[in-house]
Amino acid sequence: MKEISILLKEYRVRNEVAKVERLAFVGAGDKDVYNITAPFVVGGKEVIAGRIEARDSEMAEIGFFEKQDLAWVLLTNMPKLALQDPFMTRIDGDLIIGGVEVFPSEADPKKLAWRTCLYRGKGIADLTLIFVGPVGMKDLRLKQLPSGEIAVLTRPQGEKGGRGKIGFCLIPKLTDLTVQLVEEAPLLPTHFADGEWGGANEMHLLKNGHVGILSHVANFDEKGDRHYYAGICVLDPATATFVAPMEIVAERADFLAGPSKRPDLEDVVFSGGLIRNASGTADLYVGISDADAQKRTIRDPFMKFEG
């Protein structure tokens, strides 16, 4: 595996000028909307799920915004989930919405703990909690394969995962998902350098049966500031190995100038979702600096791995 410093140099050599736009959200008041999903269609509406949060708080909720003209407008008649960092997938035709629940730590109520929660429904209005993940784990992701099996990506931290590495397992059906299974999922072969971390944000089925993973890779600098980059890698679910290693596909400098939640979060790009286009391009939706949401149209990063 390569350190971020090397991945970044390689990325900057191949980077191309691309269209960038800031997404406009209506209905969140004076709160920020960031760490969004890519748009998805549900109930005949094009919708984005986004993290709604005050600039001086970590207590967020997920809201659902419908595309109306040039803006994304909050659906006020839909539930808001008390979660951070939404993601979506579909399993057996149902909508699965997930996010990170933040709550006081049992060991020290003055500190926060977190876990991933999954909701299931035919649509947004009837979402029901179906799974609560292990305490301390973000970036749990699911994707149903053509076989019907479900690929599960985990991100343990601590003794098993350090600052955060990606684990993987397959389950026959959604009801087989358990906290024990998530905790015991083997780590994929080394993919982040020591002292650096990351996680999966979204999985894409490729034509050759492999799974393209939209991810983020991150590290600290000597001042303790965080640096997050959008990345991708490719997994063969049959062998539980990477067939293409991690590479960076976007950095903060690629996007428009804007606000930051805190000074140490200025250089943060958090991958939200990717829409692959027939033209060979892809629309990358990201959270920026924990305060903003933008879209960049890039060359489809997975196309070269589908041969």
pLDDT score of 1 = 82
pLDDT score of 115 = 97
Q: What digits encode the pLDDT tens for the residues 41-97?
A: 999 999 999 999 999 998 999 999 999 999 999 999 998 899 999 999 999 999 999
**In terms of DSSP H, where are the helices of 107-255?**
179-184
Tokens found for residue 80: 């808001």
Q: Check pLDDT > 80 for residue 307.
A: no
CA distance 177 to 155: 15
In 3D, which of 154, 152, 106, 276 has the Cα closest to residue 206?
276
CA distance 15 to 36: 23
Question: What's the Cα-to-Cα distance from 11 to each of 159, 191, 264, 301, 305, rounded to whole Å?
Answer: 31, 17, 23, 12, 17
pLDDT score of 168 = 98
pLDDT score of 212 = 98
pLDDT score of 190 = 85
- State pTM to two decimals: 0.97
- In Å, the largest CA–CA distance within the chain is 52
- Give the bridge partners for 94, in sequence order: 91
- Three-state DSSP class for 216? strand
DSSP 172: S
Q: What digits encode the pLDDT tens for the residues 188-223?
A: 998 999 899 999 999 999 999 999 999 999 999 999
Cα–Cα–Cα angle for 76, 276, 15, nearest 5°?
110
Share of the chain above pLDDT 70, in %: 100
**What residues have CB less than 8 Å from 6, skipping those under 6 apart?**
none
CA distance 133 to 71: 34
Counting the structural domains of the chain, the total is 1
CA distance 149 to 48: 26
Domain with 21, as residue range(s), is 4-305
- Of 165-174, 185-194, 253-262, 297-306, the one with minimum mean pLDDT is 185-194
Mean per-residue pLDDT, 122-147: 97
Q: Check pLDDT > 90 for residue 172.
A: yes
Amino acid 171 reads I
Mean per-residue pLDDT, 132-143: 97
Q: What is the CATH number of the domain that holds 96?
A: 2.115.10.20
Amino acid 121 reads G
Average pLDDT score, the chain: 96
